[in-house]
Amino acid sequence: MSVKNAMTADFLRSAYGGESMAHMRYLVWADAADREKFPNIGRLFRAVAYAEWAHAKNHFTVLKDQVGDSSVTAGAVFGLTNTVENLQGAIDGELHEVDQMYPVYLNAARYQEEKDAERSFHFAVEAEKQHAELFKKAQESAKAGNDIGDDKFYVCPVCGYTVVEDDLPEKCPVCGAKKEVFKDF
Ligand SMILES: [Fe+2]
Ligand SMILES: [Fe+2]
């Protein structure tokens, strides 16, 4: 994996920064959900945090030959108030990635014929669509004062594809990984 063009490299660095912060933010919001007696929403945050780690790792790996320091500017959501608002931050962050960030980054990578970056951005955007839907359902429950159900979540360690137990496929539909390698939460 490697990258040759400066613009795609910048987008990879920014996406790495954004995914890294999302990973951290979701772990903090998971603990907050636990404190509010929403342990299953806490599990959802931890599952998605793992998916964001996979995205950050993929972007970082594509940049492996770009050795040295960089200042990284990336979108970040702030706030630690209550789980309903934290979930709104999560939904907003995911939708920004789905509707704005990754479509632009993907097109840049395609234009610059950066196959590895294109794959890394593609993996991420497909997972973020699911994350937005999972967080929306969780927010509906939290608004009504309820936790979500106790179904396990499964996350593909290669691309971050995230599903509930009942929807676990034989092979990851995004990257082809076998279900045996999925991590459960
Ligand atoms: Fe996500
Ligand atoms: Fe996958």
- Domain interval for residue 11: 6-147
* Model confidence, pTM: 0.97
Note whether residue 168 is domain-resident: no
Note whether residue 152 is domain-resident: no
Q: How far is the CA of 145 from the centre of ligand 1 (A)?
A: 24
- The pLDDT of residue 126: 96
Query: Mean per-residue pLDDT for 109-125?
Result: 98
Q: Is the confidence at residue 1, as pLDDT, over 90?
A: no
Check which CATH number belongs to the domain holding 55 and give it: 1.20.1260.10
Structural domains in the chain (count): 1
Q: Is the confidence at residue 59, as pLDDT, over 90?
A: yes
- DSSP string of the chain? -----HHHHHHHHHHHHHHHHHHHHHHHHHHHHHHTT-HHHHHHHHHHHHHHHHHHHHHHHHTTT--S------------S-HHHHHHHHHHHHHHIIIIIHHHHHHHHHHTT-HHHHHHHHHHHHHHHHHHHHHHHHHHHHHTT-------EEE-TTT--EEEGGG--SB-TTT--BGGGPEE-
Note whether residue 35 is domain-resident: yes
Note whether residue 160 is domain-resident: no
Q: Is the confidence at residue 141, as pLDDT, over 90?
A: yes
Note whether residue 38 is domain-resident: yes
Q: How far is the CA of 55 from the centre of ligand 1 (A)?
A: 9
Q: How far is the CA of 157 from the centre of ligand 1 (A)?
A: 13
Q: How far is the CA of 176 from the centre of ligand 2 (A)?
A: 6
Q: How far is the CA of 16 from the centre of ligand 1 (A)?
A: 12
Query: Mean per-residue pLDDT for 108-112?
Result: 98
Please write the tens of the pLDDT for every residue from 11-40: 999 999 999 999 999 999 999 999 999 999
Note whether residue 163 is domain-resident: no
Note whether residue 111 is domain-resident: yes
Note whether residue 161 is domain-resident: no
- The pLDDT of residue 128: 95
Q: How far is the CA of 3 from the centre of ligand 2 (A)?
A: 22
Q: How far is the CA of 106 from the centre of ligand 1 (A)?
A: 16
